[in-house]
Structure 1
Amino acid sequence: MTYDPVGRLRMIPTDQEAPERVARLRQLGLGGQPDPEFDAFASELARITGAPYAMVNFIDEHRQFFAGLHTPSGGMTGSDAAAAASEPGRVMDRDHGYCPHVVVRRKALVLEDVCDYPRFAGNPVVDEIGIRSYLGAPLIDRTGMALGTICVVDVEPRPWGRPGLETIKSMAAELVDRIHRREDELA
């Protein structure tokens, strides 16, 4: 973590693997465009967890890209300016949200109420989108690279608990298996 001259701690940790991740994502053909299979996966993740938002998120040096996205409206936001004001679009800066922490930590993260954690309460998504709870897990592929995350968020605190943690981890493993099958089919 580095100090921000504005007078607060930088919100995201340094990501040493980002250049290698970008190369691996390109090799897999991921992280640059919406993917209907990942949208369906995000919708299933939202259904299973009961969360209004779910994402399949790939992260590079500068941004996060939601290749899979489920929102309360059911639409894939990003082009509609009114929706974009209250819902996440397909692209988000790296300093927004909690997925960059998950990728660097390489561990699932459970925030039942982000406001309980000073480190996370000041994140821009709290004010801009109203996010209050987060549950995410890394997508670690066969090379050992953390490609991105899957996550769910809510605008209300949520008692995710151990069941939520186990669900997000098993769903991440399932999606990694799908990514590997795609790679094998292309080879």
Structure 2
Amino acid sequence: MIYDLSGHQSLTPADPEVPARLRRLQELGLGEVADAHLDEFARRAGDITRAPLAMVNFIRDDRQYLGGLYTGAAVPEALRTGLAGRTFTREHGYCPHVVVRRKALVLDDVCDYPRFAGNPVVDEIGIRSYLGAPLIDRTGVALGTVCVVDVEPRPWGRPGLETIKALASELVAQIHAREGK
């Protein structure tokens, strides 16, 4: 875990839902391999929000897996390369916070929030703004997130919040529809 400089506050939240999430992700066949449908959904999320980077992110016990990924032309090559494997630790990024909180998170400029400014994605890959919402399954398990990010601060505001929540709801409905097939 990564801690703030005072050593008092864990910057990566404890996640008691991991066992239930892993079981549910396995049942759904999600979180281990790239999915063209989820890539297309991420592309659409990026287009709708005009964000250069969009993801469908499944949170596991020790890592995050980008089941859906869209990197627009404006994404710096270092960031594109860093995401190529679609896997990174739970300490990188903001999606683990969204999953544990079970609420959308809007960070117009991550540097304005001490808890989030110290995240490795700020210095290592240049993330400056984040907008994400949890994917809460019909069983009540938070599977992961749909999120968009930018390398510049972005005033997402209420419209951004409503958009990302609507996208999360839409994707959960799609996941449930696929489950029934």
Output the TM-score relative to the length of structure 1. Answer: 0.89
Cα shift at 1:73: 4.0
Change (3 A) 1:5 1:169: closer
Gaps of 5+ in 1: none
RMSD over aligned Cα, in angstroms? 2.2
CA distance in 2, matches of 1:127, 1:3: 14
Look up the match of 1:144: 140
How many residues align? The count is 179
Verify: 1:84 aligned to 2:78, yes or no: no
Conserved 8 A contact 2:2-2:12: no
Conserved 8 A contact 2:4-2:11: no
Amino acid at match of 2:110: V
Cα shift at 1:16: 0.1
CA distance in 2, matches of 1:128, 1:19: 30
Percent identity, aligned pairs only, is 63
Verify: 1:122 aligned to 2:115, yes or no: no
CA distance in 1, matches of 2:132, 2:103: 9
Output the TM-score relative to the length of structure 2. Answer: 0.92
Verify: 1:11 aligned to 2:7, yes or no: no
User: 1:86-108: CA deviations, max 9, x gaps?
Assistant: x5640010000000000000000
Q: After alignment, is 40-49 or 7-16 more displaced?
A: 7-16
SS at match of 2:180: helix
Gaps of 5+ in 2: none
User: 1:100-136: CA deviations, max 9, x gaps?
Assistant: 0000000000000000000000000001110000000
SS at match of 2:45: helix
SS at match of 1:44: helix
Ranges of 4+ aligned residues in structure 1 off by more than 6 Å: none
Look up the match of 1:182: 178
Change (3 A) 1:74 1:20: farther
